[in-house]
Chains A and B, each alone.
Chain A
Amino acid sequence: NAGVTQTPKFRVLKTGQSMTLLCAQDMNHEYMYWYRQDPGMGLRLIHYSVGEGTTAKGEVPDGYNVSRLKKQNFLLGLESAAPSQTSVYFCASSPPGPANQPQHFGDGTRLSIL
């Protein structure tokens, strides 16, 4: 049982390049999330999805786009990478509920923008 799998684990980009981070979960969870983690800043929510075909903005959505075409996958795109987007990106998933349920996290994608 893999849980939440993030691809790739590491990537170096040049300013202005684009890329897509892939998140896949095998727990049949309805909800999925993308966070970024920077030193001293904790986790900040970028975008999230409460079901296939739906997306919503989080705390820091600018410069990112997402898509949830299949229930098990949640893609995070950077159209024109900037050095400020150097970070560790985490994907998470959770079941639905009347209140926030525990989230299951992947091990992150470490992204450097030069």
Chain B
Amino acid sequence: SQQGEEDPQALSIQEGENATMNCSYKTSINNLQWYRQNSGRGLVHLILIRSNEREKHSGRLRVTLDTSKKSSSLLITASRAADTASYFCAASGNTPLVFGKGTRLSVIA
């Protein structure tokens, strides 16, 4: 399974701080995707990083990928209360996406 596993399970920070979430996976991938889920809503795609990329930015999001360590990280800079959500990684290989259990981020105003 290419399952992504996020770490930590939960993270609480103050508004304005940076939040870093990590993801590990087991087998070779062609891309890795990050999603956000607000309470009571469906997942929303945030960013996709291909296996030949090492870093990607989108607004306040920065994603890194280390295929040698089979790991990825999502950094949210200058966090806001609206960033409070669960964040999931999903590793993409030769099977449909398999999602991890997520990191619950709480941003305290």
Tell me the A residues contacting B by CB distance below 8 Å: 4, 33, 35, 40-43, 45, 48, 58-59, 90, 92, 98-100, 102-108
Q: Which residue of A lies closest to B5 (CB)?
A: A42
Looking at the assembled complex, report how far the CB atom of B65 sits from the nearest CB atom of chain A, in whole angstroms.
Answer: 14
Tell me the B residues contacting A by CB distance below 8 Å: 30-31, 33, 40-45, 48, 50, 88, 90, 92, 96-102
Looking at the assembled complex, report how far the CB atom of A96 sits from the nearest CB atom of chain B, in whole angstroms.
Answer: 12
Q: Is the interface of B mostly helix, strand, loop or mixed?
A: strand
Inter-chain contact A99/B42, CB cutoff 8 Å: no
Inter-chain contact B96/A99, CB cutoff 8 Å: no
Looking at the assembled complex, report how far the CB atom of A95 sits from the nearest CB atom of chain B, in whole angstroms.
Answer: 12
CA distance in complex: A45, B97 (Å): 9
> Of B41, B48, B50, B88, which one neighbours A43 at CB under 8 angstroms?
B88
Given the known interface contacts A42-B88, A90-B42, the answer about A100 and B96 at a Cβ–Cβ threshold of 8 Å is yes
CA distance in complex: A106, B96 (Å): 18
CA distance in complex: A43, B99 (Å): 6
Inter-chain contact B100/A42, CB cutoff 8 Å: yes
Inter-chain contact A90/B43, CB cutoff 8 Å: yes
Q: Which residues of B contact A58 (CB under 8 A)?
A: 96
Q: Which residues of B contact A106 (CB under 8 A)?
A: 42
